[in-house]
Structure 1
Amino acid sequence: MTPALTDPAALAEKLIACPSVTPATGAVFDCLEAMLRPLGFTVERFVDGDEAEGGPVENLLALRRSGDGPHFAFAGHLDVVPPGEGWTSDAFLPERRGELLYGRGAVDMKGAIAAFVAAVARTPDAGGTISLLITGDEEGDAVHGTRALMRHMAARAVVPELCLVGEPTSVQRLGDTIKIGRRGSVNMWITVPGVQGHVAYPHLADNPIPRLIRVLSAIEAIELDGGTDWFQPSNIEITDLHVGNPATNVIPARAAARLSIRFNDLHRGEALVSRIAALVEAEGGTLQAKISGEAFLTPPGALSTLVSDAITAETGLVPELSTSGGTSDARFLSALCPVVEFGLLNATMHKLDEAVALPDLEGLTRIYMRVLAAALSPAAAG
């Protein structure tokens, strides 16, 4: 056991003290690497993407191999959202007040990374492989982060058998919720062109607004599904309308709208884009789309049971298995192996004065220790 590395609160403070607004590189990765090398990890770091592409983004792959046992991966991100104005104290100067540790990233998700490092430091080497898959681009476009990390892993033939993502999934109490899937996400931009003209001479113009309204009415009438056993119904939300016409006597030359679809595993992003595009093109419009991720589900089984049992043994709670919330990098990692998400309370993530309860950091460390012990047992490989 390495005493300096067994205290999750102290480790979290070190990570928080490294400003790492997305996309993250540099000092925060230096800090994590300094924690991992004394624990026997081989650490590989690389940067992907340039400034013009939304980068540069740093990624880290850490591996500790011991024998032929199972390979368990912990995934997470060191980048954080901008702190915003109005913090009680400096967002990147961690501060303990009572039983709370304040700082940007305390729960999302430097605290969970610190807890996992502390759990490894307290866990006897029982064989098997432990890896950390850490990106600096989860809060951003997620283009040069985990997907680039997965390409790097493929080139190195690194394939975990089980993966836990340390996102803050708990709602009311530490351990009350595990994520076993997430809905997919696609954003679409609709443009309907027209012909500008004077409102008194509409026959000499072509007003695009009525056609855009017809498109949006058709979209609003769509009922994608009624939900599934594990997912709520998919939903389409119109998130913006724009004409940009300052004049009261001018028919505009274009009208535009934006919509977002969060969808369950009954759908694929491309199929949804094609369906909406047909409605748009019928009114002479054009559609651009960005699929942020497909829906995924890790059906209840060995991994969710393993994590649930660890939570119950430590807290007495039986966690809910959930697919609620937004997207996470688990949507990419699910292509490698079974993946679930479990971490701290999410009540203050992305908020001013983000804070983690110190007892929760210790509790999460102990739960992660139980997960490691079970995941690295020979039975887990089966």
Structure 2
Amino acid sequence: MEVIELLKELLKFRSITPDDDGAMNYITLLMSEFDAKLLDINGVKNLILSKKFGDGLNLCFAGHIDVVPPGDGWSSDPFEPEQKDGYIYARGAQDMKSGVAAILQACKDAREFDGSLTIILTSDEEGDGIYGTKEALKYLKDNNSLPDFAIVAEPTSTNKIGDMIKIGRRGSINGVIKVNGIQGHAAYPSKCINPIHQASAVLANFAGYDMDAGSRYFDPSKIVITDIRGGMEVCNVTPSELKIMFNIRNSDLTSYEDVKQYCEHIFNGLDYELTLKESSKPFLTDADSKIVTNLIDSINRICGVRPELSTTGGTSDARYFAAFGVPVVEFGVVNDRIHALNERVSIDEVAKLYEVFSDLIRYFK
């Protein structure tokens, strides 16, 4: 099966972020019927492939060729794919060279489509992502070639291929609150300002607080404290400051400004400093969007299941499509060994993913 052989070839590239190890050149030659644009930005490779079949919609498939470091303890060479018992073992097998292989083979085999097909691949998804997919989309926007719809082939299935697609993602806001005090001897508390005592009076209304009630597709945006530290780990000196670190995976019902205002409300009256950083914004694609309904139909025809629509998990490059106003979904193989030792993917899942993408291209309307 061609898609499986292609996957094996992709898995041989030691494409640890942001190094593509030559994979983009290989893919450009493979997809010779597509127009190719390579954007090399600060060591990050971004490949845009496009082919116009007709005057209809522009459908985009996207993914990343880069992988995380393999680590030690593998049963086989992580960059020499091993096929065994219906699986292929290698770094990137699930996340996400299986998705890239299915994209490339489905688009390569496409003979008819009422519109244009675009493929965006980057070598910087597992890293900061600053010079990756976002830059490719900027280029397309500047050239009036933004896609109408997009699908990112991240591994989204849970128990079997086709049981879940992502129609959105939560955002992520990291915060640090530093409560200032005056250090002193524990025997003379009146001569100190103990930031731990001050913070403890308000933490009950902060730790684990739900910023919203959630919605059909999003859980509540909960404040999760990840670290609290202060003092010198001795029993007779009060600390001069207390640092509280937290994260919020926020829905589209809670914004950066909402979090900032709530922190200011809770810690009002204390001598504190607040630092907030929004690493990604939440997004949600309409469940009635063409990309969602057509993908559901293709999954049902090929896999015989109706997928759950979800927004769970961390972040992905789908957020960049949403930021450019492109309706986007994510769909791929089962996610159970990504970033783990002896990462593997089911051969049957890869074959079905290719068939789903081929079916989507064939019947997209």
Give the TM-score normalised by the residue count of structure 2: 0.93
Moved over 4 A (4+): none
- Cα distance, 1:157 vs. partner? 1.6
Q: Which position in structure 2 is the counterpart of 1:45?
A: 38
Instruction: Summarize the Cα distance change of 1:292–1:221 in structure 2 as closer, same or farther, 3 Å threshold.
Output: closer
Aligned residue for 2:304? 316
Fraction of identical pairs, as percent: 36
Alignment counterpart, residue 344 of structure 2, candidates 329, 332, 355: 355
2:181 is equivalent to residue 181 of structure 1: no
- Structure 1 window deviating more from structure 2 (363-372 vs 181-190): it is 181-190
Task: Report how far residue 115 of structure 1 moved.
Answer: 0.8
Aligned twin of 2:26? 31
Instruction: Map 1:1-382; keep pairs closer than 5 Å.
Output: 7-36=2-31, 38=32, 40-49=33-42, 56-220=43-207, 222-243=209-230, 245-280=232-267, 282-301=269-288, 302-334=290-322, 335-375=324-364, 380=365
How far did residue 215 of structure 1 move? 4.3
User: RMSD across aligned C-alpha pairs, in angstroms?
Assistant: 1.9
Letter in 2 for 1:361: V
- The 8 Å contact of residues 208 and 223 in structure 2, kept in 1 or not, is answered as no
Q: Displacement of 1:202 after TM fit?
A: 3.2
Call closer, same or farther: CA 1:216–1:60 in 2, change over 3 Å: farther
> CA offsets per residue over residues 349-381 of structure 1, 9 Å max, x none?
121111111111111111110011123xxxx3x
Cα distance per residue 1:7-47 (max 9 Å; x no partner): 112211222211222234442322322322x2x12222223
Contact between 2:52 and 2:115, CA under 8 Å: does it hold in 1? Answer: yes
> Given the two structures, how large is their TM-score scaled by the length of structure 1?
0.89
CA distance in 1, matches of 2:151, 2:53: 19
CA offsets per residue over residues 182-205 of structure 1, 9 Å max, x none? 111111112122222332333443
Alpha-carbon distance in 1 for matches of 2:98, 2:110: 18
Counterparts of 1:22 and 1:268, CA distance in 2: 30
Distance 2:303 2:29 in 1: 31
Determine the C-alpha separation between the residues in 2 that align with 1:283 and 1:86.
Answer: 49
Structure 2 gap ranges (5+): none
Q: Secondary structure at the match of 2:173?
A: strand
Taking the aligned partners of 2:151 and 2:355, their CA distance within structure 1 comes to: 15
SS in 2 for 1:8: helix
Q: Secondary structure at the match of 1:18?
A: coil
Q: State how far apart, in whole Å, the 2-side matches of 1:281 and 1:351 are.
A: 44
**Which region of structure 1 is more displaced relative to structure 2, 223-232 or 361-370?**
223-232
Deviates more, 1:225-234 or 1:251-260: 225-234
Counterparts in 2 of 1:244 and 1:368: CA distance versus 1, 3 Å:
farther
How many angstroms does 1:256 deviate by? 0.7
Alpha-carbon distance between aligned partners in 2 of 1:12 and 1:23, rounded to the nearest angstrom: 20
- SS of the residue corresponding to residue 130 of structure 2 reads coil
2:209–2:222: 8 Å Cα contact kept in structure 1?
A: no
* Aligned residues of 2:231 and 2:238 also touching (Cα < 8 A): no
Change (3 A) 1:356 1:59: same
One-letter code aligned to 1:87 = W
> How far apart, in 2, do the equivalents of 1:311 and 1:163 lie?
16
**Using the alignment, how far apart are the partners of 2:225 and 2:135 within structure 1?**
31
Q: Tell me how far 1:180 sits from its aligned partner.
A: 1.0
Q: Is the 8 A contact 1:181 1:323 kept in 2?
A: yes
Name structure 1 gaps, 5 residues minimum.
Answer: 1-5, 50-55
